[in-house]
Amino acid sequence: MMKTAMFRIWRGDGQNGEFRDYTAEISEGMVVLDAVHQIQAKQANDLACRWNCKAGKCGSCSAEVNGMPKLMCMTRLNELPLDKPVTIEPMKAFPIIKDLVTDVSWNFRVKKKIRKFKPRPPDAPDGTWRMVQEDIDRVQEFRKCIECFLCQDVCHVLRDHHKHEEFIGPRFIVYTAALEMHPLDTENRLEDLKKAQGIGYCNITKCCTKVCPENITITDNAIIPLKERVVDEFYDPLKKLLRLLRP
Protein backbone atom coordinates (compact mmCIF):
# COMPACT_ATOMS: atom_id res chain seq x y z
CA MET A 1 0.00 0.00 0.00
CA MET A 2 1.29 3.46 -0.87
CA LYS A 3 2.20 5.82 1.93
CA THR A 4 0.00 8.90 2.22
CA ALA A 5 0.35 12.30 3.86
CA MET A 6 -2.10 15.02 4.76
CA PHE A 7 -1.73 18.50 3.21
CA ARG A 8 -3.55 21.49 4.63
CA ILE A 9 -3.75 23.99 1.78
CA TRP A 10 -5.06 27.56 1.81
CA ARG A 11 -8.00 27.97 -0.54
CA GLY A 12 -9.50 31.35 -1.28
CA ASP A 13 -8.80 34.85 -2.47
CA GLY A 14 -7.83 38.11 -0.80
CA GLN A 15 -11.22 38.51 0.86
CA ASN A 16 -12.24 35.05 2.01
CA GLY A 17 -10.52 31.76 2.42
CA GLU A 18 -9.86 28.73 4.58
CA PHE A 19 -7.51 25.82 4.97
CA ARG A 20 -8.70 22.58 3.39
CA ASP A 21 -7.26 19.14 4.00
CA TYR A 22 -6.16 16.86 1.16
CA THR A 23 -4.49 13.49 1.23
CA ALA A 24 -1.82 12.66 -1.31
CA GLU A 25 0.11 9.50 -2.04
CA ILE A 26 3.78 10.04 -1.48
CA SER A 27 6.79 8.28 -2.89
CA GLU A 28 10.56 8.58 -2.64
CA GLY A 29 12.05 11.84 -3.90
CA MET A 30 8.77 13.74 -3.94
CA VAL A 31 8.73 17.47 -3.29
CA VAL A 32 5.87 19.62 -2.01
CA LEU A 33 5.09 20.84 -5.53
CA ASP A 34 4.62 17.21 -6.66
CA ALA A 35 2.04 16.73 -3.94
CA VAL A 36 0.28 19.97 -4.91
CA HIS A 37 0.19 18.85 -8.54
CA GLN A 38 -1.21 15.47 -7.52
CA ILE A 39 -3.92 17.16 -5.46
CA GLN A 40 -4.62 19.53 -8.36
CA ALA A 41 -4.93 16.60 -10.79
CA LYS A 42 -7.03 14.29 -8.65
CA GLN A 43 -8.93 16.26 -6.04
CA ALA A 44 -8.97 19.99 -6.67
CA ASN A 45 -8.73 20.92 -10.33
CA ASP A 46 -9.33 24.57 -9.49
CA LEU A 47 -6.39 24.84 -7.08
CA ALA A 48 -4.32 27.81 -8.26
CA CYS A 49 -0.56 27.45 -8.02
CA ARG A 50 2.21 29.28 -9.88
CA TRP A 51 5.12 27.14 -11.06
CA ASN A 52 7.45 26.75 -13.99
CA CYS A 53 10.85 25.06 -13.90
CA LYS A 54 10.58 22.57 -11.00
CA ALA A 55 14.32 23.02 -10.59
CA GLY A 56 14.62 25.90 -8.13
CA LYS A 57 15.68 28.36 -10.80
CA CYS A 58 12.58 30.25 -11.90
CA GLY A 59 11.42 31.39 -8.47
CA SER A 60 7.75 30.89 -9.33
CA CYS A 61 6.53 28.35 -6.78
CA SER A 62 7.24 30.39 -3.65
CA ALA A 63 4.85 29.62 -0.81
CA GLU A 64 4.88 29.00 2.91
CA VAL A 65 5.36 25.40 3.89
CA ASN A 66 4.76 24.71 7.58
CA GLY A 67 4.95 28.45 8.18
CA MET A 68 8.33 29.01 6.50
CA PRO A 69 8.78 30.64 3.07
CA LYS A 70 10.10 28.01 0.69
CA LEU A 71 10.20 27.05 -2.96
CA MET A 72 7.70 24.18 -3.20
CA CYS A 73 9.79 22.50 -5.88
CA MET A 74 12.86 22.38 -3.65
CA THR A 75 11.18 21.22 -0.44
CA ARG A 76 11.45 17.48 -0.21
CA LEU A 77 8.75 15.67 1.69
CA ASN A 78 11.26 13.53 3.56
CA GLU A 79 12.52 16.74 5.22
CA LEU A 80 9.08 17.41 6.69
CA PRO A 81 7.32 15.75 9.62
CA LEU A 82 4.57 13.84 7.82
CA ASP A 83 2.87 12.58 10.99
CA LYS A 84 1.10 15.97 11.07
CA PRO A 85 -0.60 17.77 8.17
CA VAL A 86 1.81 19.77 6.01
CA THR A 87 0.54 23.34 5.84
CA ILE A 88 0.86 25.11 2.48
CA GLU A 89 -0.21 28.73 2.19
CA PRO A 90 0.52 31.71 -0.04
CA MET A 91 3.20 34.29 0.78
CA LYS A 92 1.85 36.65 3.41
CA ALA A 93 3.76 39.78 2.39
CA PHE A 94 1.79 40.12 -0.86
CA PRO A 95 -1.92 40.29 -1.77
CA ILE A 96 -3.49 36.93 -2.52
CA ILE A 97 -4.91 36.48 -6.03
CA LYS A 98 -6.18 32.95 -5.57
CA ASP A 99 -5.15 30.00 -3.39
CA LEU A 100 -1.33 29.81 -3.50
CA VAL A 101 -0.89 32.59 -6.06
CA THR A 102 0.01 36.08 -4.87
CA ASP A 103 0.37 39.39 -6.66
CA VAL A 104 4.09 40.16 -6.55
CA SER A 105 3.92 43.08 -8.99
CA TRP A 106 4.88 45.54 -6.22
CA ASN A 107 8.39 44.12 -6.50
CA PHE A 108 8.66 45.01 -10.17
CA ARG A 109 7.47 48.56 -9.50
CA VAL A 110 10.11 48.93 -6.77
CA LYS A 111 12.85 47.66 -9.08
CA LYS A 112 12.04 50.32 -11.66
CA LYS A 113 12.70 53.05 -9.10
CA ILE A 114 16.28 51.96 -8.38
CA ARG A 115 18.90 54.03 -10.17
CA LYS A 116 20.22 52.15 -13.16
CA PHE A 117 23.76 50.93 -13.82
CA LYS A 118 25.94 53.86 -14.90
CA PRO A 119 29.35 52.66 -16.04
CA ARG A 120 32.45 54.82 -16.21
CA PRO A 121 33.68 55.76 -19.71
CA PRO A 122 35.03 52.73 -21.63
CA ASP A 123 38.61 51.67 -20.85
CA ALA A 124 39.48 50.80 -24.44
CA PRO A 125 38.96 52.63 -27.77
CA ASP A 126 36.65 49.82 -28.92
CA GLY A 127 34.18 50.80 -26.22
CA THR A 128 34.90 47.93 -23.84
CA TRP A 129 35.92 47.81 -20.19
CA ARG A 130 38.50 45.84 -18.23
CA MET A 131 37.63 44.28 -14.90
CA VAL A 132 39.45 42.02 -12.48
CA GLN A 133 37.56 38.88 -11.48
CA GLU A 134 38.29 39.48 -7.78
CA ASP A 135 36.48 42.80 -8.00
CA ILE A 136 33.39 41.25 -9.50
CA ASP A 137 33.22 38.17 -7.21
CA ARG A 138 31.21 40.06 -4.62
CA VAL A 139 28.65 41.21 -7.17
CA GLN A 140 28.35 37.78 -8.75
CA GLU A 141 26.99 36.36 -5.51
CA PHE A 142 24.11 38.82 -5.76
CA ARG A 143 23.49 37.95 -9.40
CA LYS A 144 22.48 34.44 -8.33
CA CYS A 145 19.12 35.84 -7.18
CA ILE A 146 16.18 34.15 -8.91
CA GLU A 147 13.63 36.70 -7.68
CA CYS A 148 11.50 34.18 -5.84
CA PHE A 149 10.75 36.97 -3.28
CA LEU A 150 10.96 34.58 -0.35
CA CYS A 151 13.28 37.08 1.35
CA GLN A 152 10.68 39.81 0.87
CA ASP A 153 8.03 37.50 2.27
CA VAL A 154 9.95 36.58 5.42
CA CYS A 155 11.03 40.17 6.14
CA HIS A 156 8.94 41.33 9.10
CA VAL A 157 9.15 44.96 7.95
CA LEU A 158 7.04 44.03 4.92
CA ARG A 159 5.22 41.00 6.26
CA ASP A 160 4.10 42.29 9.66
CA HIS A 161 4.49 46.07 9.38
CA HIS A 162 3.51 46.49 5.72
CA LYS A 163 6.11 49.20 5.08
CA HIS A 164 5.94 48.60 1.34
CA GLU A 165 5.94 52.32 0.62
CA GLU A 166 8.95 53.07 2.81
CA PHE A 167 11.18 50.00 2.54
CA ILE A 168 12.34 48.17 -0.57
CA GLY A 169 13.06 44.88 1.19
CA PRO A 170 16.06 42.53 1.11
CA ARG A 171 15.68 41.54 -2.55
CA PHE A 172 16.16 45.08 -3.73
CA ILE A 173 18.89 45.86 -1.27
CA VAL A 174 20.71 42.92 -2.85
CA TYR A 175 19.92 44.34 -6.28
CA THR A 176 21.19 47.77 -5.21
CA ALA A 177 24.32 46.19 -3.72
CA ALA A 178 25.02 44.47 -7.05
CA LEU A 179 24.94 47.87 -8.75
CA GLU A 180 26.54 49.94 -6.00
CA MET A 181 29.52 47.58 -5.51
CA HIS A 182 30.07 47.02 -9.22
CA PRO A 183 33.62 48.04 -10.13
CA LEU A 184 32.45 49.94 -13.23
CA ASP A 185 29.47 51.70 -11.73
CA THR A 186 29.67 55.42 -10.96
CA GLU A 187 26.15 56.12 -9.69
CA ASN A 188 25.53 57.00 -6.03
CA ARG A 189 22.44 55.35 -4.54
CA LEU A 190 23.19 55.98 -0.87
CA GLU A 191 20.80 58.87 -0.38
CA ASP A 192 17.98 56.82 -1.93
CA LEU A 193 18.88 53.90 0.32
CA LYS A 194 18.76 56.06 3.41
CA LYS A 195 15.60 58.00 2.60
CA ALA A 196 13.17 56.62 0.00
CA GLN A 197 14.30 53.00 0.26
CA GLY A 198 14.49 52.90 4.06
CA ILE A 199 17.51 50.67 4.66
CA GLY A 200 17.35 51.72 8.31
CA TYR A 201 14.16 49.71 8.73
CA CYS A 202 16.17 46.50 8.50
CA ASN A 203 16.97 45.33 12.00
CA ILE A 204 19.23 42.48 10.94
CA THR A 205 17.06 39.50 11.82
CA LYS A 206 18.85 37.51 9.09
CA CYS A 207 15.57 35.78 8.22
CA CYS A 208 16.11 36.74 4.57
CA THR A 209 19.47 34.97 4.53
CA LYS A 210 17.91 31.93 6.17
CA VAL A 211 15.24 31.44 3.50
CA CYS A 212 17.25 32.29 0.37
CA PRO A 213 17.18 29.21 -1.90
CA GLU A 214 20.33 30.44 -3.65
CA ASN A 215 22.17 30.74 -0.33
CA ILE A 216 23.00 34.40 -0.91
CA THR A 217 24.41 35.84 2.30
CA ILE A 218 21.96 38.71 2.05
CA THR A 219 22.43 40.29 5.46
CA ASP A 220 26.19 40.03 5.87
CA ASN A 221 27.25 40.66 2.29
CA ALA A 222 24.62 43.07 0.98
CA ILE A 223 22.55 44.77 3.70
CA ILE A 224 25.22 45.41 6.34
CA PRO A 225 27.86 46.62 3.84
CA LEU A 226 25.31 49.06 2.41
CA LYS A 227 24.28 50.15 5.90
CA GLU A 228 27.96 50.85 6.54
CA ARG A 229 28.22 52.89 3.34
CA VAL A 230 25.19 54.90 4.45
CA VAL A 231 26.93 55.47 7.80
CA ASP A 232 30.02 56.71 5.92
CA GLU A 233 27.94 59.16 3.95
CA PHE A 234 25.49 60.47 6.56
CA TYR A 235 26.32 59.53 10.15
CA ASP A 236 30.09 59.37 10.62
CA PRO A 237 31.48 62.80 11.58
CA LEU A 238 35.08 61.67 11.06
CA LYS A 239 34.31 60.57 7.50
CA LYS A 240 32.59 63.88 6.86
CA LEU A 241 35.67 65.72 8.11
CA LEU A 242 37.92 63.59 5.93
CA ARG A 243 35.75 64.39 2.91
CA LEU A 244 36.08 68.10 3.66
CA LEU A 245 39.86 67.83 3.90
CA ARG A 246 40.22 65.42 0.98
CA PRO A 247 37.30 66.06 -1.36
* Count of chain residues binding another protein (CB under 8 A): 46
Alpha helices, DSSP H, located in the chain: 32-42, 105-113, 133-142, 150-154, 156-159, 169-180, 190-194, 207-211, 224-230, 237-245
Binding to another protein by residue 23, rule CB under 8 A?
no
- Of 54, 57, 156, 164, the one binding another protein (CB under 8 A) is 156
Binding to another protein by residue 81, rule CB under 8 A?
yes
Nearer to another protein by Cβ, of 11 and 70: the residue is 70
Contact 65, 76 (CB under 8 A): no
Binding to another protein by residue 191, rule CB under 8 A?
no
Distance in Å, CB of 188 to another protein, minimum: 12
- Per-residue DSSP letters for 24-48? EEE-TT-BHHHHHHHHHHHT-TT--
Binding to another protein by residue 211, rule CB under 8 A?
yes
- Taking residues 163 to 182 in sequence order and writing x for each that binds another protein by CB under 8 A, - otherwise, the string is x--x--------------xx
Distance in Å, CB of 69 to another protein, minimum: 7
- Of 59, 169, 198, 213, the one binding another protein (CB under 8 A) is 198
Binding to another protein by residue 240, rule CB under 8 A?
no
- Taking residues 107 to 146 in sequence order and writing x for each that binds another protein by CB under 8 A, - otherwise, the string is -------------------------x-xx-----------
Q: Which residues of 125-142 are buried (b: 16+ CB within 10 A; e: fewer)?
A: eeeeeeeeeeeeebbebb
Compute φ and ψ for 68, nearest 5 degrees. -115, 135
**CA dist 77 to 19, 27, 74, 214, Å?**
19, 9, 10, 20
Nearer to another protein by Cβ, of 192 and 236: the residue is 236
Nearer to another protein by Cβ, of 50 and 194: the residue is 194
**Would you call 168 exposed, middle or buried from its count of C-beta atoms within 10 A (0-12, 13-18, 19+)?**
buried
Distance CA(75)–CA(65), nearest Å, equals 8
Nearer to another protein by Cβ, of 53 and 231: the residue is 231
Binding to another protein by residue 69, rule CB under 8 A?
yes
Q: Which residues of 204-219 are buried (b: 16+ CB within 10 A; e: fewer)?
A: eebbbbebbbbebbbb
Nearer to another protein by Cβ, of 6 and 40: the residue is 6
Tell me which residues touch another protein (CB under 8 A). Answer: 64, 66-69, 81, 84, 87, 92, 132, 134-135, 154, 156-157, 159-161, 163, 166, 181-183, 185, 198, 200-207, 210-211, 219-220, 224-225, 227-229, 231-232, 235-236
